[in-house]
Structure 1
Amino acid sequence: MKQLTIAACISLSSLVFSCTNAPKVSTEKVADSATTMPKEVKYSANIVNNKKDPSCGMPVRAGILDTIHYNGKVIGFCSAECKADFTKDAAKKMASVEWK
């Protein structure tokens, strides 16, 4: 009986020590940057034919995040929202485009 008790204590102590050395698993949620942050693609101002964003008037040299090909021209926009605004009434917006 004494040997059985000693064997049980050894088994139990090795089990306890092996559990405390196990790697800790974090339960904290970590945001996946690929799914939460949009990928920013910046275009160079020299690839577009306009001087300013036709939707908001921002100069394209300040940054272009989206483009569209329209009537053989490449038009740059500062954001996807400005591009969407342009596509709602492109013919009207084309009249206000400031060309290079």
Structure 2
Amino acid sequence: MTSAPFAPMMWVEPGMSNWAYRDRVSYPRWANEDHIEPVPGSAVDFNQVEQCIRDLCDRFDVRDFAFDPQLGPQMLTGLQEDGFLVTAMRQVLTAAMSAPPA
């Protein structure tokens, strides 16, 4: 097995151009360069995400991974039950975060 950092992102294809404009990021180019994976439809299919994670674990020496538990609790539970080391990492801003520099 190969050991390397890897962070695939599933991205809803229909809104990609709008988000690219809003965020000033070239998501369509990232998709063309295989940095993100566009998925059809208006929502990400968590079964597809889970299968991608399992495929990557077969290809690479994945030791652990983290994701927001609010977005896929059933997937998180299934992966943990199968012995994967999964860390919950919420994607929220809190009052404890410092203000940006002036």
TM-score by length of 2: 0.21
TM-score by length of 1: 0.21
Q: Highest CA radius of gyration, 1 or 2? A: 1
